[in-house]
Structure 1
């Protein structure tokens, strides 16, 4: 992990804004923060690493003007090939955290270093078919690890419970690590994530499309909070 100091693990909920009404994205981002989101999860797709294309740094720059850094943390999930080429633009646009896939770069250590040099927090992500062992050498150098619980690139997929052993392995070996999960996470599946040791919870449809996003986020946050004392007993 990036810091060697002892720290307390907290649960944070980050709505995936790609599930919002894109015609009024700025308003939707404000709404999520007012409803109690801890951060916003922004999915960037380039049409190469995944088939879909979403938005680039210009959109992030526009959202940052509407949501100053003091009011909102932008967690960039970079589903892009060769993530190095986007680092400077995203940093200049106001991104706070840059999470890239280990499968998308030839030199993970170099990409980590470049993200840090650009002034952003850095995370590494793994797809469902990537063994958790691939990411272990980098954990001490990053701020978080993202375990995908669906195949990246499309919303509305079913949560993959069989990804939880990866989370358990990370939590058992790195007690203070921020572990993020993304894909199909809802009040119906949050207990799997909480028991495994995930503390950064990305949720799209379940939060954004809910009649009461606040209630959904409170419920998921509490589900993780009550499990935190049990994590020291996790076995992979």
Structure 2
């Protein structure tokens, strides 16, 4: 496949009162990325995590907002690594948005809601795994030991998992299981 597994615990499932220690804990358990769902400007939290981690983790920010362009500058300044926006909110300005994301030092990502056809993102990538074997494809939502094989066999290599990691008695084992499933599917 040409891409490495990337396991990203969703910080939405963490203890927000101890965000820094939760982030360190997940990195120490083997997480590659930390996933942040952004529903409002959280640039202070991103900046705090960014400075605490000193580039030990990729901060993957998933914008769940109606105007993602408004968030590019604050999140770029705060130290976000990745900026994923929903195509449904950016159909008319996705080219400008991607340029803006890159100009602020972040890696752009495109998300689609479950009810949206994957064809909506074809103008951005044409095809997914087959045409771009080194493209990172992220799956977010309900992933854990019982669902990882389906996502991995479909071509996903970036796995966002919240409650299945943070709620596990042994989070490191869940992270390892997720990674192994992606590796086996390649």
Q: TM-score range by the shorter chain?
A: over 0.9
Residue 129 of structure 1, aligned match among 96, 115, 118:
115
TM-score normalised by the chain length of structure 1: 0.75
Residue 6 of structure 2, aligned match among 5, 12, 28:
12
2:155 aligned with 1:197, yes or no?
yes
User: Do the aligned partners of 2:129 and 2:135 also contact (CA within 8 Å) in 1?
Assistant: yes
- Residues 42-121 of structure 1 correspond to what in structure 2 (within 5 A)? 42-46=36-40, 56-69=42-55, 71-105=56-90, 106-121=92-107
Alpha-carbon shift at residue 26 of structure 1 (Å): 1.0
Spell out, residue by residue over 1:171-192, the C-alpha distance to the aligned partner (whole angstroms, 9 max, x if none).
2343222100000000100010
2:173 aligned with 1:215, yes or no?
yes
2:96 aligned with 1:138, yes or no?
no
Spell out, residue by residue over 1:118-156, the C-alpha distance to the aligned partner (whole angstroms, 9 max, x if none).
11111111001111001011127xxxxxxxxxxxxxxxx
2:28 aligned with 1:28, yes or no?
no
Task: List runs of 5+ in structure 1 lacking aligned partners.
Answer: 1-6, 47-54, 141-168, 229-236
Alpha-carbon shift at residue 196 of structure 1 (Å): 0.7
Identify the residue that residue 177 of structure 1 maps to in structure 2: 135
Taking only aligned residues, the RMSD between alpha carbons, in angstroms, comes to: 1.4
Task: List runs of 5+ in structure 2 lacking aligned partners.
Answer: none
Runs of 4+ in 1 over 6 A off after TM superposition: none
Moved more, 179-188 or 21-30: 21-30
User: Do the aligned partners of 2:35 and 2:62 also contact (CA within 8 Å) in 1?
Assistant: yes
2:5 aligned with 1:39, yes or no?
no
In 2, the alpha carbon distance for the partners of 1:133 and 1:224 equals 24
In 2, the alpha carbon distance for the partners of 1:129 and 1:190 equals 20
In 1, the alpha carbon distance for the partners of 2:83 and 2:168 equals 27
Identify the residue that residue 232 of structure 1 maps to in structure 2: none
User: Do the aligned partners of 2:2 and 2:133 also contact (CA within 8 Å) in 1?
Assistant: no
In 2, the alpha carbon distance for the partners of 1:129 and 1:172 equals 23
In 1, the alpha carbon distance for the partners of 2:68 and 2:19 equals 24
TM-score normalised by the chain length of structure 2: 0.95
In 1, the alpha carbon distance for the partners of 2:143 and 2:131 equals 23
Alignment length (residue pairs): 185
